[in-house]
Amino acid sequence: MSEINNDLVEAVEVEKIEEPTPTVEEQPEVVEAPAVEEKAEEAPVVEKKASKKEPKPAATVANEKVAIFSERNISWQEAGRLNAGYSIVTKDLADKWLTLKGVRLASPEEISSKVAK
């Protein structure tokens, strides 16, 4: 099976076909920029009107501060860091800290007795 039967194969001359080359040379299109004036036009300036600001409420629920007590130093990526002892934090952070073991809400009487000493 590895022998080739040359009797069945005819020799055929093959013409080499050359691809036609374009006769017209294509030049890249050159676009000229418009002349630049020495003075640029200034953009209109929008003036802010002085508006009367309404005073914000002094104590909002999100900014309300509470005191908590921690039995040890704790670091938490979501809430920050607590040192052992008393800390004053926002109500939102206190809600997170109070989920941990060893952290509790400190009463105002407890804080006043510790500060007085």
Answer whether 97's CB lies under 8 Å from 68's CB: yes
* 50-89 pLDDT per residue, tens: 556 665 555 455 578 999 999 999 998 888 899 999 999 9
Answer whether 65's CB lies under 8 Å from 91's CB: yes
* Structure-token match 């501060």, residue found: 65
Backbone angles phi, psi at 42, to 5 degrees: -85, 140
Q: Quick one: average pLDDT of 33-50?
A: 63
Q: What angle do CA 81, 100, 66 make, to 5 degrees?
A: 65
Residues 41 and 90: their CA atoms lie apart, in Å, by: 51
pTM of the model: 0.46
Residue 8 has pLDDT above 90, yes or no: no
What was the pLDDT predicted at 96? Answer: 92
